[in-house]
Structure 1
Amino acid sequence: MNYRVIKIKKLVGFLVAGIFSLCLTCAALAQGNPTGAPAGAGPPPNKNPNIDDRVRQVDEGRLRSAEMDAGTEEKNQRLLQAAIANMKEDFSRIQVLRNDIARNLVARKPFDYKLVSEQTGEINKRASRLNVYMRARAAEDEKENDRPELKSEEMIGALVRLCKLIDSFTENPALKNAATVDSKDIAKARENKANADRDLLAIIKLSGGLQKKSENLRMSQ
């Protein structure tokens, strides 16, 4: 589209320049030959009837391009607002689920594998969706191989670890003060972001393991 517009612009420019030069030549000839035909007595100028149409097409193309750009910007804004809303919802819901798990642990309620499977499964889903936006990456020296599957007697301890990981993640300054980072604290901000990445990846991994184990235990009852 841009190439065509530029090409048409050049064509119009050449035609206008040619007509202008022709007018100058005619004026010079008229001055050099005062006995020639009076002004207006000759044939009408040879005007290209396609110039106006082409100029109008160029203008219409510009207008359409501007409308498309405005539409794209509006769409991007809608997507951004939707992403922010999703992140807020996921962030809040993960904390609610964490509190529910912690209350049940403190109350020493009988272990409900179905409930634990649902809670940890939702935490895993929402944490994974958060990671779509955060793009958390583990440091090279912190990458671990897959851990063995949790044992039944490890379930309570794993749930406690999950609650602590969620606390660490949600209280991280990289998430709470992201809009107020001072340029002097860039190094600290990077460290906080690295910690948030580490916690989020650990939450995803641990919640996935808990969901799988609790579901297996539920099915075996």
Structure 2
Amino acid sequence: MANTREPAGAALLQESVTAAITRAMFDQLAEIGYARMSMDAVARRAGVGKAAVYRRWPSKQAMLIDLVGAAIRQNLPEVPDTGSLSGDVRGFLDVIVKQAADPRTRRIALDVLVETTRTPELAAALQDVVNKPRRTAAATVLTRAMDRGELPAGIDVELGLDLLISPLLIRLFRTEEKVDDAYLTRLAKVTVAALNAL
């Protein structure tokens, strides 16, 4: 008689294993940093064999790039369309603040940023999975403003993206200064003025 037993749900098991590894990697990053993290330690923390990790990624760097990229793609909120450049700039700043609200996220981001200064290949790879999605979202703000006639079509878009992104990220990740509603309102006003001066 032929064996008609249903498969044991390997696909679901695989997803649960990947999820466990993902949680373990981010836990390790937050607690000990990228330099001290190892794939073996991630496997132990996830409660899986080393082979389960190595089947998915050939190296620690590949694992980091893949999982950080996936997290960013899943958690990049859409920039709100408020109907005005000033409103869109403020909405974009609010999105950045929301993404960086978790102290653990900030610790991981700073640790990985430091590591990129020592590992050019990591810096190049993270450019694609971290910086490009954020700049693409910021470009939406500029494109809408140009479509509405609030900004001229020939502005320096790359400089505009720097203006939208860099000041707030530096304050969030490199200083202890608070980021409250009053600060965001002032920053949005200054950013709009700077964009109009491009």
TM exceeds 0.5?
Answer: no
Structure 2 length as normaliser, TM-score?
Answer: 0.26
Looking at CA atoms only, which structure, 1 or 2, has the larger radius of gyration? 1
Using CA pairs under 8 Å that are at least 6 residues apart, name the structure with larger relative contact order, 1 or 2: 1
Structure 1 length as normaliser, TM-score?
Answer: 0.24
